[in-house]
Amino acid sequence: MVAKLTQGFWARTARIILRNRVLILVLIAAFTVFLGLQWEHMRFSSSQANLLPDDHPINQEYQSFLKQFGEEGNAVVFAVKDSALYSPQNFNRWNRLSKQLQAFPEVDFVLSTDNLLELKRDSEKQEFVLEPFIKDSLNTRSKIDSLTGYLFNNLPFYDKLIYNKESSTIRTIVNLDKDIVNTSVRKDFILKDLTNLINDFEEETGLNVHVSGMPYIRTLNSQNIIDEIGKFIFAALAVTSLIFFFFFRSVRATTISMCVVIIGVMWAFGILGLLQYEITVLTALIPPLIIVIGVPNCIFLINKYQQEVKKHGNQALSLQRVISKIGNATLMTNMTTASGFATFIITDSKLLKEFGVVASINIIGIFILSLLIIPIVYSFMSLPKTKHLKHLNKRWIDAFVNWMERIVRDHRIAVYIVSIALLVVSIIGIYQIEISGSPIEDMPKKAEFFQDIRFFESEFDGIMPVEIVVDTERPKGVLKPATLKRIDRLGGVIEEIPELSKSISIVNLVKYSKQAFYNGIPKYYQLPTTQENNFIMDVARKSSGNSDLLKNFVDSTGQTARITTFMKDVKTDRMEEIEDRLLENIEKIFPSERYNVYMTGSALLFLKGTKYLVKNLVLSLAFAIFLIALFMAYLFRSFRMIIISLIPNLLPLVITAGVMGFVGVPIKPSTILVFSIAFGISVDDTIHFLAKYRQELTANKWRIQKSVYAALRETGVSMFYTSIVLFFGFSVFVISNFGGTVALGALVSATLLFAMLANLILLPSLLLSLERSIANKEVLKKPQIDILPKEEVNIENP
């Protein structure tokens, strides 16, 4: 009953489409214009991707830290490692650069040699005062050498903050206004004003300025994403159009298909704007994905139209059959593909939810576009010429199908042995997969800003902030000698870890105060003794401007302190070892009954977010498999057929996971997408094959061998065509500068190729080997939906 209703629905749909051709084209054009107007609402991501949900404890701690101390990743750093910097002309130009930076409203404050302050004790007033580090003009090299020598040897407070004594590297720190760090204003300032200043300085001095810091890295990384969108769209269009033309040898068919997917891309951007989602490293992939997934729809529809024309030459009947007989099949396959993407919606990650929503909507959108535009446009054109139908009889395609048939007929045992061997080897590889929680793992390794990241890791021990918050649970508890000693002990632990920079905390300021109390003698840069503490703190309390210094390290009540360090880019397992070591020492140094201490910071947040994402995406993939299994159950109403259909689709996923383990591709936000995407697409081939197989069974009176080989011959060509398009279409992502995008493209391409072979070789082999279990009318009952119409048994080759 349902099957008859379905056939009737598609017959009515075909009549409606073909009778209202002009109206439908006008509606498509109007909707495209409407979505085009939404482009102005598109926003490129200005903030760092937060993979954790808002109510996650780690995220809540991070938000609590930001509320107390403000944005921790708002510093842009500049450094020069060159002895030529210390010439009077260059050194004064370096100081003038700091003044220029401070003049911008986007800059909160600048810390550099130009405005460096030295803490000193005023013996008469018995208070600490801050005096300029540079008091006189620097017009000779000897003055500069004397000044920098004093800085390197007498001011340990600034060690690894402003200078690296061993390499004589000088650094300037520019703290951006916290209100603009996560807005588009930051992007304009960094890409225009900041870049122009640096370029001018380099041209005038001939020095190479290294630039880094999280705002700078995020800005250039985002700009790379923007630059790559156009590159991906052009590459995807070029590759798919060339392949399409190679298969069909028709400029007309190729042009129509490209117009369909270009409109699909316009819709994708429009929906991003309409929903006001940010364009991130994931949503930037959607437009080229729409091209890659949309072209197979065009292949199915145009191929069917040409087959019908070749069969009877009646254009009206051909177009009606394209819609009524292929519409249901393409709807089913697009629904399964959309389901693979839609499973991301169930995750708690905002990043993935938005990707899943936009991708699944646009996959259905490209299906509607292809189903409407292709028949309507062809209805206004003359019939295809004979030369355009020659591809239907290509001998090399027949040779490929015959090869597969021989494998299935004569070498089924070998197929199972190879499959089991691949499964075992892949499982071994899976155990070698690592998880990457590094926020800079996917960044373009050849980019100058990435090289600068490595420079700052070498010179100043890292750029990714890690914060430790110490709540003493009582006002002014931070400045108590016992608390300061505990913070100092933890700072010693941090200094022993080679991947972390020297910690910056209230302890540094207290040590500097003692040094100033003893007239700046460097050996007194240490915590005061209990006896000294009373004198030094008494002087500190009298000092003007003391609260301004303290606010960077302690909250306004004096109850909570921050300890800041910076981490190098390390592997996830090492990052976890560092975290465990710090937590272990925190527990020892700060008794939980007296202190509330937690770790936070963007580096830790990304690590936790990645692990959380992996767990959620495993559930997402499981849900996708469950959805597809339900779909198969509804179509075929056979538990055995569900199992048989899942095997050739799950095996390629396992093989891909094994390959990732062996070649060292880690699990990270980009590569984890591979499995859900590939599964949603590859199951389309299974649906086509099994639908044709079931149809052949009915026609051949349940003779399974004849039915399997007929289904293989009929569907092999279409599977090959679409798989080749998908393989090369996803391969365009390997031109990316982002390691994660390269891995995504290569892995999805490989998985879909494995899936094609599994569906054309392993699936038929299983059907033949298990024929006694599945080839009877009780197991293969009348389906709920006829994907392919009965009369298509011997001519369907979409």
Per residue in 647-661, pLDDT (tens digit) is 888 888 888 888 888
CA angle at 571 for the pair 569 and 577, rounded to the nearest 5°: 105
At 778 the pLDDT is 43
Count CA within 13 A, CB hemisphere, residue 84. Answer: 7
At 540 the pLDDT is 62
Distance CA 407, CA 760 (A): 10
Distance CA 317, CA 692 (A): 22
CATH class of domain segment(s) 2-47+220-431+606-792: mainly alpha
- C-alpha dihedral over 541, 544, 549, 553, to 10 degrees? 30
Displacement of CA 652 from its chain's centroid (Å): 22
DSSP 8-class letter at 505: S
Largest CA distance in the chain: 110
Q: Measuring CA to CA, which residue among 402, 352, 398 is closest to residue 623?
A: 352
Distance CA 685, CA 197 (A): 56
DSSP 8-class letter at 84: G
Q: What is the 3-state secondary structure (H, E, C) of 226-241?
A: HHHHHHHHHHHHHHHH
Distance CA 145, CA 153 (A): 12
At 23 the pLDDT is 93
At 271 the pLDDT is 92
Distance CA 512, CA 519 (A): 11
Distance CA 286, CA 279 (A): 10
Beta pairing, strands 127-132 & 278-279: unpaired
Residue type, 356: G
Displacement of CA 10 from its chain's centroid (Å): 39
Beta pairing, strands 464-471 & 596-600: antiparallel
User: Where along the chain do its domains lie?
Assistant: 2-47+220-431+606-792
3-state secondary structure of 504: strand
Question: Within 10 Å of residue 262's Cβ, how many Cβ atoms?
Answer: 18
Q: Measuring CA to CA, which residue among 476, 493, 494 is closest to residue 554?
A: 476
The residue to which tokens 């538990």 are assigned: 639
Phi-psi region of 114 (alpha: psi -120 to 50; beta: other; left: phi over 0): alpha
Dihedrals φ, ψ of 539, to 5°?
Answer: -65, -40
Report yes or no: 291 and 235 within 8 Å, Cβ to Cβ. no
Q: Measuring CA to CA, which residue among 324, 326, 318 is closest to residue 12?
A: 324
At 365 the pLDDT is 92
Question: Within 10 Å of residue 694's Cβ, how many Cβ atoms?
Answer: 22
pLDDT mean values, one per 10 residues, the chain (798 residues): 59 84 92 90 67 78 81 82 90 90 87 86 77 83 89 88 88 84 78 88 91 83 78 85 81 88 91 85 81 83 79 80 76 80 78 86 91 88 66 65 82 89 91 75 75 87 85 86 90 89 87 85 86 69 55 82 86 84 91 89 78 74 77 72 82 88 80 77 77 74 78 77 82 80 84 86 83 52 50 39
At 27 the pLDDT is 94
Q: Measuring CA to CA, which residue among 28, 20, 35 is closest to residue 323?
A: 20
pTM for this model (two decimals): 0.76
At 55 the pLDDT is 77
Residues 6+ apart with CB under 8 A from 676: 340, 341, 343, 344, 617, 620, 621, 624
CA angle at 390 for the pair 385 and 391, rounded to the nearest 5°: 120
Give per-residue pLDDT as tens, 2-31.
455 556 677 788 888 888 889 999 999 999
Q: Measuring CA to CA, which residue among 556, 565, 561 is closest to residue 595?
A: 561
Q: Measuring CA to CA, which residue among 612, 740, 621 is closest to residue 51?
A: 612
If 0-12 CB within 10 Å is exposed, 13-18 middle and 19+ buried, where does residue 607 land? buried
- C-alpha dihedral over 369, 371, 373, 376, to 10 degrees? -160
Question: Within 10 Å of residue 781's Cβ, how many Cβ atoms?
Answer: 11
Look up residue 463 and give its two tokens: 């750029």
Question: Within 10 Å of residue 139's Cβ, how many Cβ atoms?
Answer: 11
CA angle at 161 for the pair 156 and 162, rounded to the nearest 5°: 90
At 489 the pLDDT is 92
Report yes or no: 177 and 108 within 8 Å, Cβ to Cβ. yes
At 791 the pLDDT is 47
E strand or H helix at 109: strand 107-111
Displacement of CA 786 from its chain's centroid (Å): 39
